[in-house]
Amino acid sequence: MAKHYFKNDYSEGCHPSILTALAETNLAQQDGYGDDDYSQESKALIRSAIDQPDATVHFVSGGTQANLLVASAALRPYESLIAADTGHVSVHETGAVEATGHKIETVPSSDGKLHPESIAHLLKQAGDVHSTQPKMVYISNATELGTLYSKAELTVLSSFCRENGLYLFMDGARLPVALTGRGNDLGLAEIARLVDVFYIGGTKNGALLGEAIIITHPAIKAGFAFNVKQRGAMLAKGRLLGLQFLCLLRNDLFLQLAQRANDLAGKIADEIRALGFPFLVEPATNQLFPILPNAVIRELETACAFYIWKPLDEERAAIRLVTSWATSEEACDAFIALLRHIAKKSLN
Amino acid sequence: MAKHYFKNDYSEGCHPSILTALAETNLAQQDGYGDDDYSQESKALIRSAIDQPDATVHFVSGGTQANLLVASAALRPYESLIAADTGHVSVHETGAVEATGHKIETVPSSDGKLHPESIAHLLKQAGDVHSTQPKMVYISNATELGTLYSKAELTVLSSFCRENGLYLFMDGARLPVALTGRGNDLGLAEIARLVDVFYIGGTKNGALLGEAIIITHPAIKAGFAFNVKQRGAMLAKGRLLGLQFLCLLRNDLFLQLAQRANDLAGKIADEIRALGFPFLVEPATNQLFPILPNAVIRELETACAFYIWKPLDEERAAIRLVTSWATSEEACDAFIALLRHIAKKSLN
Amino acid sequence: MAKHYFKNDYSEGCHPSILTALAETNLAQQDGYGDDDYSQESKALIRSAIDQPDATVHFVSGGTQANLLVASAALRPYESLIAADTGHVSVHETGAVEATGHKIETVPSSDGKLHPESIAHLLKQAGDVHSTQPKMVYISNATELGTLYSKAELTVLSSFCRENGLYLFMDGARLPVALTGRGNDLGLAEIARLVDVFYIGGTKNGALLGEAIIITHPAIKAGFAFNVKQRGAMLAKGRLLGLQFLCLLRNDLFLQLAQRANDLAGKIADEIRALGFPFLVEPATNQLFPILPNAVIRELETACAFYIWKPLDEERAAIRLVTSWATSEEACDAFIALLRHIAKKSLN
Amino acid sequence: MAKHYFKNDYSEGCHPSILTALAETNLAQQDGYGDDDYSQESKALIRSAIDQPDATVHFVSGGTQANLLVASAALRPYESLIAADTGHVSVHETGAVEATGHKIETVPSSDGKLHPESIAHLLKQAGDVHSTQPKMVYISNATELGTLYSKAELTVLSSFCRENGLYLFMDGARLPVALTGRGNDLGLAEIARLVDVFYIGGTKNGALLGEAIIITHPAIKAGFAFNVKQRGAMLAKGRLLGLQFLCLLRNDLFLQLAQRANDLAGKIADEIRALGFPFLVEPATNQLFPILPNAVIRELETACAFYIWKPLDEERAAIRLVTSWATSEEACDAFIALLRHIAKKSLN
Q: Are strands B4-5 and A316-322 parallel, antiparallel or unpaired?
A: unpaired
State the distance between the two ends of chain C, measured CA to CA, in whole angstroms.
Answer: 32
Residue C23 touches chain B, beta carbons under 8 Å:
no
pLDDT at position C115 is 98
H or E element that contains A223: none
Helices (H), A209-328: 218-221, 224-230, 239-249, 253-274, 294-301
Same domain? For A236 and A337 the reply is no
3-state DSSP assignment of residue A293: strand
Q: How far apart are CA B44 and CA D202, in angstroms?
A: 57
Q: How far apart are CA A309 and CA C301, in angstroms?
A: 74
Burial environment of residue B341 by CB neighbours within 10 A (0 to 12, 13 to 18, 19 or more): exposed
3-state DSSP assignment of residue C104: strand
3-state DSSP assignment of residue C273: helix
Is C196 a residue whose pLDDT tops 70? Answer: yes
Same domain? For A74 and A215 the reply is yes
pLDDT at position B1 is 47
pLDDT at position B189 is 98
Tell which phi-psi region holds residue B232, choosing left (phi > 0), alpha (psi between -120 and 50) or beta. Answer: left
Q: Quote the percentage of chain B above a pLDDT of 70.
A: 99
pTM (predicted TM-score) = 0.97
Please list, in sequence order, all residues whose beta carbon lies within 8 angstroms of the beta carbon of residue A71, skipping any fewer than 6 positions away: A81, A89, A97, A100, A102, A136, A138, A169
- The pair phi, psi for residue C104, each rounded to 5°, is -105, 120
Distance from CA of B224 to the nearest CA of C (A): 20
- A106 neighbors A118 (Cβ within 8 angstroms): no
Residues 61-80 of D with CB under 8 A from A: 77-78, 80
Query: pLDDT confidence of B2, banded at 50, 70, 90?
Result: low
Among B236, B251, B266, residue at a domain's last position:
B251
pLDDT at position C8 is 95
Torsion, Cα C296 C297 C300 C301, to 10 degrees, reads -150
pLDDT at position B345 is 86
Instruction: Please report all neighbours of A, defined by 3+ CB atom pairs within 8 A.
Output: B, C, D
Same domain? For B247 and B258 the reply is no
pLDDT at position A346 is 77
Q: Could C204 and D236 be called an inter-chain contact, meaning their C-beta atoms sit closer than 8 Å?
A: yes
Q: Could D94 and A101 be called an inter-chain contact, meaning their C-beta atoms sit closer than 8 Å?
A: no
Q: How far is CA C24 from CA A78, C45, D9, D219, in A?
A: 37, 20, 19, 45
Is A243 a residue whose pLDDT tops 90? Answer: yes
Contacts 24+ apart (CB under 8 A), C340-345: C340/C271, C340/C275, C342/C296, C342/C299, C342/C300, C343/C275, C343/C276, C343/C296
Same domain? For C113 and C191 the reply is yes
Q: How far is CA C15 from CA A279, C21, C181, D32, in A?
A: 74, 10, 20, 17
- CATH number of the domain bearing residue C135: 3.40.640.10
Distance from CA of B102 to the nearest CA of C (A): 6
From the list A72, A129, A226, the residue facing C133 with the nearest CB is: A226
Question: Most C CBs within 10 Å: which of A39, A97, A103, A230, as the mutation test of the C interface?
Answer: A230
Q: How far apart are CA D133 and CA B12, in angstroms?
A: 40
Q: Quote the percentage of chain A above a pLDDT of 90.
A: 97
Q: How far apart are CA D228 and CA D89, in angstroms?
A: 18
Contacts of A96 in chain B (CB under 8 A): 229-232
Give tens-digit pLDDT for A114-133: 999 999 999 999 999 999 99
- A259 neighbors A266 (Cβ within 8 angstroms): no
Domain that holds residue D199: 16-253
Is C345 a residue whose pLDDT tops 90? Answer: no
Please list, in sequence order, all residues whose beta carbon lies within 8 angstroms of the beta carbon of residue A124, skipping any fewer than 6 positions away: none
Give tens-digit pLDDT for A81-122: 999 999 999 999 999 999 999 999 999 999 999 999 999 999
Query: pLDDT confidence of C2, banded at 50, 70, 90?
Result: low
Strand partners of residue A225:
none
- D57 neighbors C50 (Cβ within 8 angstroms): no
**DSSP track, B313-328:** SSSEEEEEEE--TT--
The mean pLDDT of chain A is 96
**DSSP track, A44-73:** HHHHHHTT-TT-EEEEES-HHHHHHHHHHH
Residue B225 touches chain A, beta carbons under 8 Å:
no
Q: Are strands B79-84 and B104-107 parallel, antiparallel or unpaired?
A: parallel
3-state DSSP assignment of residue D251: helix
Same domain? For C206 and C82 the reply is yes
Q: How far apart are CA D177 and CA D147, in angstroms?
A: 10
Among B202, B230, B251, residue at a domain's last position:
B251
Give tens-digit pLDDT for A324-348: 999 999 999 999 999 999 998 877 6
From the list D99, D102, D131, the residue facing A77 with the nearest CB is: D99
Query: pLDDT confidence of A3, banded at 50, 70, 90?
Result: confident
Same domain? For B56 and B205 the reply is yes
Q: Could A133 and C72 be called an inter-chain contact, meaning their C-beta atoms sit closer than 8 Å?
A: no
**DSSP-derived secondary structure letter, B97:** H
Q: Could B78 and D234 be called an inter-chain contact, meaning their C-beta atoms sit closer than 8 Å?
A: no
Residues 257-276 of B with CB under 8 A from A: none
Same domain? For C25 and C171 the reply is yes
3-state DSSP assignment of residue C190: helix
H or E element that contains D197: strand D197-201
Give the nearest chain D residue to C231 (CA atoms). Answer: D96
- By C-alpha distance, which of C227, C231, C157 is closest to C194? C157
Q: How far apart are CA D46 and CA D52, in angstroms?
A: 9
Could you report the average pLDDT of every consecutive run of 10 residues in chain D (348 residues)?
A: 86 97 97 97 98 98 98 98 96 97 96 96 97 98 96 98 98 98 98 98 98 98 97 98 98 97 98 96 96 96 95 95 96 96 83
Distance of CA D346 to the CA centre of its chain: 37
- B6 neighbors B306 (Cβ within 8 angstroms): yes
- CATH number of the domain bearing residue C296: 3.90.1150.10
Q: How far apart are CA C201 and CA C141, in angstroms?
A: 11
Q: Quote the percentage of chain A above a pLDDT of 70.
A: 99
Give tens-digit pLDDT for B193-239: 999 999 999 999 999 999 999 999 999 999 999 999 999 999 999 99
Q: How far is CA D86 from CA A266, D143, D173, in A?
A: 43, 9, 15
CB neighbours of residue C263 within 10 Å: 15
Among B251, B274, B298, residue at a domain's last position:
B251
- By C-alpha distance, which of C253, C248, C279 is closest to C266? C279
Q: Could B19 and A14 be called an inter-chain contact, meaning their C-beta atoms sit closer than 8 Å?
A: no
The mean pLDDT of chain C is 96
Same domain? For C245 and C262 the reply is no
Q: How far apart are CA B296 and CA B318, in angstroms?
A: 11
Same domain? For B241 and B260 the reply is no
- C37 neighbors D201 (Cβ within 8 angstroms): no
Give tens-digit pLDDT for B107-116: 999 999 999 9
- C54 neighbors C233 (Cβ within 8 angstroms): no
Q: Are strands D287-288 and D316-322 parallel, antiparallel or unpaired?
A: antiparallel
- By C-alpha distance, which of A302, A268, A239 is closest to A4? A302
Strand partners of residue C104:
C81
H or E element that contains A321: strand A316-322
Q: How far apart are CA D172 and CA D63, in angstroms?
A: 8
Give the nearest chain B residue to D232 (CA atoms). Answer: B130
Sign of torsion over alpha carbons C122, C127, C131, C134: positive
H or E element that contains D120: none
Contacts of B133 in chain D (CB under 8 A): 223, 226
**DSSP-derived secondary structure letter, B56:** E
**DSSP-derived secondary structure letter, A252:** G
Same domain? For D56 and D151 the reply is yes
pLDDT at position C346 is 77
Same domain? For A198 and A294 the reply is no
Same domain? For D55 and D143 the reply is yes
**DSSP track, C275-343:** TT--BSS---SSEE-BEEEHHHHHHHTTTEE-EEEEE-SSSEEEEEEE--TT--HHHHHHHHHHHHHHH
Q: How far apart are CA B228 and CA B205, in angstroms?
A: 23
- By C-alpha distance, which of A203, A205, A215, A204 is closest to A241? A203
Give the nearest chain B residue to C129 (CA atoms). Answer: B94
Q: How many domains does chain A have?
A: 2
